[in-house]
Amino acid sequence: MQFPRTAGILLHPTSLPSRGGIGDFGPAAYQFVDSLAAARQGLWQVLPLGPVGYGNSPYSSISAFAGNPLLISLERLAEHGWIGQAKLSATLSPESGPVEYDRVFAAKMPLLFEAGRGFIDAASGSVRQRFEHFCSENAWWLDDFVLFDALRAQHKLASWNEWPAELARRDSGAMERARKRLNADLEIRKALQFAFYEQWQALRKYCSERSIRIVGDVAIFVNYDSADVWTHCELFRLNGALEPEVISGVPPDFFSKTGQRWGNPLYRWDVMKARGYDWWVERLRWATRNCDYIRLDHFRGFDQFWEIPEADQTAINGHWVDGPRDDLFIKLREALGGLPFFAEDLGYITPEVHALRERLRIPGMAVLQFGFNDDGAHMYLPHRAAGKVIYTGTHDNDTTVGWFHSGASDHERRNAEAYLGRCHDGIHWAFIRAAQSSVADLALVPLQDVLGLGSEARMNTPSLHGGNWKWRLAPGQFTAELTAKLAHLAEVTDRLPQPVPVPANEDFAA
């Protein structure tokens, strides 16, 4: 796909300075969009928006379709009468500071459930009709997800394979009894998903009105402990005990000498092909309904994926296995009418992977931090970025300031200075100017780089268990001076926003 020449900012909504201990779709999100518009940015990239599982990673979700309830703004629910404003004022925590997920779950989820219960008891008229339409239209994923979520809570977050066998194996009688027993709880969980998607679409509309497109992110794999695997065991490589036979990861690379053992179950691609890749079609159709462009994480895995024996504790002994390649994307193009994707194709990428991407006309990625090592690394530099999406760094990288002062070798620093020249306003602005003046169509910059922050603001360190996904923007930190500087740069590099079709006028209920 040919993207319009545009600039944008990478910031996950959890990093906004919202009340409640975590960023959400409330007032701070709209203020951020206003800042993007003032900065003449045409893109806002987010990470996956699903409910997080182990490790609080957005790439480790318990559903490929549901939304993370922690991103629901209680303030906006209060505006629509779901919960009393006084209760929020007494219980919500300050706007700033890192996300402490255990505290956030403990404080925010009870309030969300109270709001959902109030909505179910009191909603009427057009709002009730919107809710019922949402439940009916999305029953294909919603019904199974809320039952999974409720049973998971009932079993104290134990993995679904540890539940009673009749529930783990989805015995029809046991499922029906569970639905009747948990009916009130299921309705509340449906109400929270309704609130999530109402608030998200309202925010998207606000972005569209300001010529800002949303860049979403789809992880190639899903969690074992997820509604998707529990519901569709036949699509995953599980043994007779419903446990993974083999798992996902990547071999030793820049980030880890022992590789990365992600632990996700691998797909039965033969079964998926026989079914016309229906699960993938629905997954990507849903993604494109909720975002304008999609970053496909670990694109390499669609050509070949790293298969690791489940019993191994590292990824060293894995091996490459053929993926679906063109077959999947032919079906997706037929179903979606196009492929509004770009590929995360970083790391060791074979000529076959590049050829697949080029056949499909899916742009790859260039990350400036990777461009200053040996000659082979120069493929990531701005003059080589035609047909790619360029970044200063990603959520998996250190910030540019942190990388330059702590992570880069002397050789890389010398190369960066030779290529970029010395910069009076910091290495981060040298990177930003290089990315935005490049030949790449899309140029994306983590907000931490715009702010010139060091390693303390890093979002994720791959293979590090704990301490990730916690950084948050402080109120007022994204200043008018910075937005003016970005706006001037967008103008001079011909990256001014392009108009975006605005959704039909709707009175969002949440």
State the catalytic residues: 297, 344, 396
List of E strands, 181-256? 213-218, 246-250
DSSP state string for 235-246: GB-B-TTS-BSE
317 Cβ contact partners less than 8 Å away, ≥ 6 residues apart: 308, 309
**Where do the DSSP E strands lie in 302-363?**
304-309, 319-322, 341-343
> What is the C-alpha to C-alpha distance for residues 148 and 313, in angstroms, rounded to an integer?
28
- Helix H or strand E segment including 337: none
In sign, the C-alpha dihedral spanning 250, 251, 252, 254 is negative
How far, in Å, CA of 351 to CA of 76, rounded?
A: 49
Instruction: With beta carbons less than 8 A apart as the criterion, state whether 418 and 430 touch.
Output: no
| Contact predicate 329/299, CB 8 Å | no
Cα separation, 476 vs 129, whole angstroms: 39
Compute how many other C-beta atoms are within 10 angstroms of the C-beta atom of residue 180.
Answer: 9
Q: What is the 3-state secondary structure (H, E, C) of 116-130?
A: HHHHHHHCCHHHHHH
Residues contacting 13, CB < 8 A, separation 6+: 23, 24, 25, 29, 46, 49, 71
Residue 51, SS3 per DSSP: coil
Cβ-contact 268, 280 below 8 angstroms: no
Task: Return all residues near 358 (Cβ < 8 A) that are at least 6 apart.
Answer: none
Six-digit token string for 203 = 């925010």
Looking at residue 405, the DSSP 8-state letter turns out to be: I
How large is the angle between the packed helices 172-181 and 183-209, nearest 10 degrees?
A: 80
CA distance to 25, 125, 475, per residue, from 450 (Å): 22, 46, 15
Residue 137 DSSP symbol? H
Cα–Cα distances (Å) from 72 to 62, 149, 320, 378, 499, in that order, read 17, 17, 40, 42, 28
Helix axes 278-290, 139-154, angle to 10 degrees: 90
Buried b (16+ CB within 10 A) or exposed e, 301-330: bbbbbbbbebeeeebeebeeeebbbeebbe
∠ at Cα 343 (455, 10), nearest 5°?
35
